[in-house]
Structure 1
């Protein structure tokens, strides 16, 4: 079976540390090995959500804020939405941030967007704090759609090309990559995928739902948590999920493997801090997020949103990011989204 993973650890291969290519010196992975005795006290944080309200990053940022403040772990955890260009506008804002106790939500979407937008500011310029979650994606269509199965939809794209519109998150992000992988499974190469795929990026889950319910898109791709309520209400129909087993929020929906597509693809989300912060400040943030992860409030957030715990911090998260950036860049090239 040829299985695709968005989250990958290259077993047996020593990952190159991102600190080695970081222009801000020890920022990448800073504090990953610091002890709790060396960690700075964190009394308040600012949280940047690099997307408009309503999507998975917004859900993550607000869940972090709620758990931290409700648990009296910090006095304040203000959330700011800075959307645009797959999170790279928010990434640029983080690069100019002077408060070391700033956390920005990140994830697979941003990894792809940095490449497709040739962004000046890169994830390598930040301080990785923690990978928090992973989540399967789901392909949905309006309730009245003629496409009854995932195969029906993919066949239509292959046959009719640009006439079949698919909406998802930013260009080059997880949703876009998954659309490309589905067409690759159907036998198209990079040039063929580029010719056939009519992909409409949107700024968040709310915009995607509006496009679908207004019949301005034939299908949508996003995280299960963003579409689940509309599937349950009957406004949308789910064709398949990208996990290797049934998704918690949509247990009746088949997997892509069930539908004959050799694809398993999960989206991760995590937290970054500004580059160049001290090891003590980075360790303080890692300690704070580690304690948050152990709370009942965070465990409830995982269950409510259908997120899988995928916790990594410090150097382990840095190594994961290095692998993920390499893998996503290769995938984007293979399916014709970057040259």
Structure 2
């Protein structure tokens, strides 16, 4: 996307927002149309903040779709840099696109990442009749012949599903991740179908995509890419406990404008922590297939910085960026 086209899109969105602004205490921008993950983040977190008394007025939700989240990011950086009453929904897709320079030259340090309080865990699965019984079985087979085995995933080449197994393999000592075959498909269900059918040897995706296939016995999960085993799926070991220190989840969280005060940052972090601790949020996670993943405040900023750096290196290695 050219800078000229990006700026035109951003200007159009800003003009369109003028009539929608109101005197509510705060606004949450969902960088997508209604119904998606970013919209869920704004609406659920905003509603619970109000319901539990973390804010004294309902939080307005503004949908600003475009450029895979880049339109909203650009709007915040260019127009709302010191707005203390603004929060923006973010996820792993946000940090991945920033790492790959997909937002027209903008960078992660142009905003402040407040926290994440839930995540769709990354998983590595194989068909039920696969010879690979553990993550290390699969890794060893790839080390022996890197070009023989292929992963299927629901994102394009260079997307987060592609990067998950590369992180695993790199941490496991595979030096040339460019040799790893990956087939990007239109969603996790298609990726599982390819794997169950024997066209690929493993599938990389999110927990929510494999639940039905686990229950039907079509696939076996070799690893979940979380700090700890996921409640309700305790039989699936983490990559970390198998000796491969990788956490790769599609986290759900927030960022705020860069030029707000530290006190404002701490205020939003405290509000987000209150949501994370609430019964209402635990119920929302259970209803929507999310796992616990709470990193709030400065720890989360450090986490995002680390993910961006790792994704940038991997993306260069596989030729997604120069």
- TM-score (norm. length: structure 1): 0.64
Q: CA RMSD in A?
A: 4.3
Which of 117, 126, 139 is matched with 1:132 structurally? 117
Whether the 8 Å contact between 1:110 and 1:173 is mirrored in structure 2 is: no
- Where does residue 27 of structure 2 map in the other structure? 45
User: Cα deviations across residues 278-313 of structure 1 (Å, max 9, x unaligned)?
Assistant: 667656544543443343212333555453342322
Whether the 8 Å contact between 1:42 and 1:288 is mirrored in structure 2 is: no
Supply the distance in 1 between the matched residues of 2:305 and 2:44 (Cα, whole angstroms). 26
Describe how 1:296-307 pairs up with structure 2 within 5 A: 296-302=279-285, 305-307=289-291
- Where does residue 9 of structure 2 map in the other structure? none
Whether the 8 Å contact between 1:240 and 1:256 is mirrored in structure 2 is: yes
Which of 289, 294, 298 is matched with 1:310 structurally? 294
The alpha-carbon deviation at position 271 of structure 1 amounts to 0.7
Q: 1:186 to 1:307 in 2, by over 3 A?
A: closer
The alpha-carbon deviation at position 102 of structure 1 amounts to 3.5
Question: How many residues are matched?
Answer: 289
Q: 1:82 to 1:210 in 2, by over 3 A?
A: farther
The alpha-carbon deviation at position 105 of structure 1 amounts to 2.4
Whether the 8 Å contact between 1:228 and 1:249 is mirrored in structure 2 is: no
Q: 1:141 to 1:92 in 2, by over 3 A?
A: farther
Whether the 8 Å contact between 2:64 and 2:71 is mirrored in structure 1 is: no
* Secondary structure of 1:308 counterpart: coil
| Greater relative CO, 1 or 2 (CA 8 Å, sep 6+) | 1
User: Cα deviations across residues 37-82 of structure 1 (Å, max 9, x unaligned)?
Assistant: xxxx963422314599555x56544432442355464424426373
The alpha-carbon deviation at position 167 of structure 1 amounts to 0.7
- Where does residue 235 of structure 2 map in the other structure? 252
Unpaired runs of 5+ residues, structure 2, are: 1-22
- Where does residue 247 of structure 2 map in the other structure? 265
- Where does residue 13 of structure 2 map in the other structure? none
Whether the 8 Å contact between 1:135 and 1:266 is mirrored in structure 2 is: no
- Where does residue 197 of structure 1 map in the other structure? 181
- Where does residue 114 of structure 1 map in the other structure? 98
Supply the distance in 2 between the matched residues of 1:234 and 1:84 (Cα, whole angstroms). 38
- Where does residue 166 of structure 1 map in the other structure? 152
- TM-score (norm. length: structure 2): 0.66
Supply the distance in 1 between the matched residues of 2:159 and 2:165 (Cα, whole angstroms). 10
Q: Does 1:209 align with 2:189?
A: yes
* Secondary structure of 2:215 counterpart: helix
Q: Which has the higher helix share?
A: 2
Q: Does 1:292 align with 2:275?
A: yes
Q: Does 1:67 align with 2:48?
A: yes
User: Cα deviations across residues 256-287 of structure 1 (Å, max 9, x unaligned)?
Assistant: 356x5523324344211234456676565445
